[in-house]
Structure 1
Amino acid sequence: MAAAPPERSVLSLLNGISPRLSVQELEVVPSARLQRLYNVKVTEGPSLLLALPPPTVMRLLRSEKSSIGSEAAVLKWLSAVAREKRTSPASGSKETLGRTTGDSSTSERTTHSLSGYLPILVRHESTGGGLATEYNLSRPSRGVAVSALSRPLTHRERRIVDFQVGQLLRRISTQVSPTRRFGIAADVLSVPPSVVHNPARRLEGGLHESRGAESWRVAFHNLMEAILRDGEDLTIMLNYSTIRRHFYRFEHLLDAVTEPRLVVLDAGEDSNTLVIRPGDGINRSQAKLISVRKTSGSPERVGIRSEDERAVESDDEDEGEEEYTISKGQIEVTGLRQWSNCIFGDPLLASVFSKRPRPSQDFWRGFDKPIPGDEREPTLIEDTPNAHIRLLLYECYHAVVSLVGEFYRPQNDGGKRELAARKHLGGVLARLEELDDSGGQRRRRMSGEMSPAKRPRSGEDEDDSDD
């Protein structure tokens, strides 16, 4: 008997969820992650998004397991936090605003709340046994991924989107672990291992049983070791000893991160950022006004950039001071496609901070600008003088993830991405090598200067002259 087509299997699953669910159309949604996504159009009510785990034949990294359960746990937690804020006396005005306009998600996006950017989890199920079933059914945020737009962003649209993405990442970063522990969301929020993918333990000696770690140093070390062991499992050629050596040189700097903030690792990526562009078939019912003004470099990012990177900033400042607004008729960031790749730790671990070119000035203005209600936390990045060194460790981690991922799931054009990842990793390791153990730049010898090892010992010249 031939295997049922994917669409038929999905329809059968949906019918099992609710026989009264009348599916009008089923559409495959491109996914930046490994989940299989389907847009479910129903005869009554808004469309739904069905998320299924990757096929069982797909080889996964240790950090990629339990993505369905992790996403469900994060959304449930964030929704509970939002409900608490709405019911508190201080937030009564915001709740009234949502009821008055009739569009709570849009009005909440104009406040400090993150709830306006969240999908609504309708149902999550994880059932083992002979027919293991695992899925998330949600009402997604409106919009389309930036990477899937029919027309690329214009220069002005890119600046607007970058600013709003910076603001969204700031909103995400203000959320702190409910247990005050560090680590991947699956560990901290006690998500059971996936019933579909084995082995059940994500990493030998991992942090699931302890529900995370007490320090960011331990949590990030666990992350780094997980991806290095993934590479060692397939005997991938990497500078394992060099990577570990640099981690041990600078691991003490990770202890400066004391707040386990929520980090969506792929937040800000074009493939995971949803936008509404007027004229693309999605109407808006509420105008939004945000002022964006060019300012000098904020203190939050001064310590993050190296000297060379800060010198490049001048290219972006040549446009002069400008102010523009995001109002009705402008493009708007509405949320993320997926919330499955989450960790509690340093906000700088988000992949957007490790990309080349670096985040734009508009992104930084959005990330640096306090959102109404969070003025008590003007700075989200801890220990800014050493943040650039932590960022090098994070760049190293992301480069290794990209490189190892190409071997776990080979693709036709994977060779180019592998070479790019190796080049990026080599550059990061070279920059780490330029730092001494205290984090300062190693002194470079002038051309023709003799190495200290070859210099004559004190007194040798005098002895020679006496002869």
Structure 2
Amino acid sequence: MHLPPLDVAVYPIHIMSRGTYSRHLTRPSSIASSTSSSSTTSLRSCSASPNFASIQRVMSTVFRSSKVTVQQAERLQGWLHQVYMLRLADGSSLTLKCPPTSNVRLLRHEKNFLETERTTLETLHEYTQLPIPQVIKYDSQGGALGSPYLMTTHLPGRRLSELACNLTPSERRSIDRTLGSYVGELTALSATQFGMTHRVFAKKGCNTWKEAFLALLEATLRDGEDMLVTIPYDSIRYYIGANSHFLEEATQPRLVALNVCDEENVLIDEHTKKVTGLLGFSNVIWGDPLMSGGIADGSDAFFEGLGERPANTEGIKARLLMYAAYRSTVLIVAHHYRTHHNVDELDARRSLSHALNALAQI
């Protein structure tokens, strides 16, 4: 399907209840039934996080009614952004995503993540039937919150990362097959230009995938140089540059959600073990479908759902290696910007070395 041009530009859980918050060592996806009034304080004191009154004012503005009441706001575990689950008086739930706190330094490709997620979700709702959040409100100015925010519906289910160790082989194959079909549906969407989503939707993308990918890579390398991260910059530039002509094999810009198959971004019904939702649409570009999440380490069941396995040609092998080198570089550099407990830097460095050594043999 071809899309027309679009002119659209482990830590404590904080729970606010009726204007206060408390710290609970509970599972990130759980909802606390009450808060401790004796030990609560304003959430504004926590790294400029939005306070309860601001959230309530936003809700009243969004729904144009003072009767829409937020009873509870729970801070969820997030990789980068501040994410809250809002429990309303009628029992429904929404998700509020705000920018990182002011002391978090962003990589170049991360600076438009909220806008990217909004435009991607709106596009997917129009052209697909995927189980994804629905955008309720996006405010680039922030309104009562004072900074940009994205409000979406809250999807049911638990993260695959929480359930993976308890799944049977049959259940896991079924999930992988479903994810493969979803990735196929995503990469079936095409645009008129290559590159980062906010640039493509503003008609400022690249005309070739080679140009777009090398720009993405160079931005990450410069992020690393800014922080004096020790990685083989010259080797990365040389071996990817020497094989960059293979990037010209990707001639049609496709929707590429880099993190869509990460276990943190896949929601599963705890009882049926079926996929109930997909998250992770902030890191989305328009480019080579081989770069999509799930492709690099997909199981047989995943490729059954996708409909095909990448051919074993020299060009495809080179592209997959270049994408592996890019992902490893991003992980290493981001880890030096903000340490994350789910990132194994040594493993990322091994993957980078393997990819560069393999590219040197082509």
TM-score, with structure 2 as normaliser: 0.80
**Alignment counterpart, residue 298 of structure 2, candidates 359, 371, 392:** 359
| TM-align CA RMSD | 2.6
Letter in 2 for 1:389: A
Shift of 1:9: 3.0
Contact 1:247 1:393 in 2 (8 A): yes
Distance 1:384 1:333, change over 3 A: farther
Partner Cα separation in structure 2 for residue 424 and residue 404 of structure 1: 14
SS of residue in 2 equivalent to 1:26: strand
Contact 1:145 1:337 in 2 (8 A): no
Is 1:418 the counterpart of 2:345 in the alignment? yes
Q: Counterparts in 2 of 1:125-136, with a 5 A limit?
A: 125-127=139-141, 132-136=146-150
Shift of 1:150: 9.0
Partner Cα separation in structure 1 for residue 178 and residue 344 of structure 2: 29
**Alignment counterpart, residue 183 of structure 1, candidates 177, 192, 195:** 195
Is 1:12 the counterpart of 2:26 in the alignment? no
Shift of 1:252: 1.1
Letter in 1 for 2:305: G
**Alignment counterpart, residue 21 of structure 1, candidates 55, 59, 68:** 68
SS of residue in 1 equivalent to 2:50: helix
1:138-157 CA distance string (max 9 Å, x none): 11333221113396322221
**Alignment counterpart, residue 280 of structure 2, candidates 338, 342, 358:** 338
1:251-303 CA distance string (max 9 Å, x none): 1111111111101100111111112132xxxxxxxxxxxxxxxxxxxxxxxxx
Corresponding position of 2:103: 57
SS of residue in 2 equivalent to 1:406: helix
**Alignment counterpart, residue 151 of structure 2, candidates 137, 151, 154:** 137
Contact 2:44 2:51 in 1 (8 A): no
Corresponding position of 2:131: 117
Partner Cα separation in structure 1 for residue 180 and residue 89 of structure 2: 37
Contact 1:49 1:140 in 2 (8 A): yes
Q: Counterparts in 2 of 1:158-307, with a 5 A limit?
A: 158-177=172-191, 180-190=192-202, 211-278=204-271
Partner Cα separation in structure 1 for residue 135 and residue 142 of structure 2: 21
Corresponding position of 2:333: 404
Distance 1:420 1:8, change over 3 A: closer
Partner Cα separation in structure 2 for residue 38 and residue 131 of structure 1: 13
1:319-350 CA distance string (max 9 Å, x none): xxxxxxxxxxx421122123111000111212
Shift of 1:189: 1.7
TM-score, with structure 1 as normaliser: 0.63
Letter in 1 for 2:352: L
Partner Cα separation in structure 1 for residue 175 and residue 144 of structure 2: 46
Partner Cα separation in structure 1 for residue 332 and residue 294 of structure 2: 17
Partner Cα separation in structure 1 for residue 210 and residue 239 of structure 2: 13
Letter in 2 for 1:256: E
Q: Counterparts in 2 of 1:67-146, with a 5 A limit?
A: 67-79=113-125, 81-82=126-127, 114-127=128-141, 132-146=146-160
Partner Cα separation in structure 2 for residue 41 and residue 257 of structure 1: 44
Percent identity of the aligned residues?
A: 31
Q: Quick check: which has more Rg, 1 or 2?
A: 1
Shift of 1:128: 6.9
Corresponding position of 1:348: 290
Partner Cα separation in structure 2 for residue 236 and residue 150 of structure 1: 33
Distance 1:63 1:39, change over 3 A: same
**Alignment counterpart, residue 48 of structure 1, candidates 94, 99, 115:** 94
Where do 5+ consecutive residues of structure 2 fail to align? Answer: 1-40, 61-65
Contact 1:272 1:336 in 2 (8 A): yes
Partner Cα separation in structure 2 for residue 402 and residue 332 of structure 1: 29
Is 1:393 the counterpart of 2:322 in the alignment? yes
Contact 2:243 2:359 in 1 (8 A): no
Partner Cα separation in structure 2 for residue 131 and residue 41 of structure 1: 18
SS of residue in 2 equivalent to 1:127: coil
Letter in 2 for 1:51: K
Shift of 1:129: 9.7
Where do 5+ consecutive residues of structure 1 fail to align? Answer: 83-113, 191-209, 279-329, 370-378, 436-467
Contact 2:57 2:144 in 1 (8 A): no
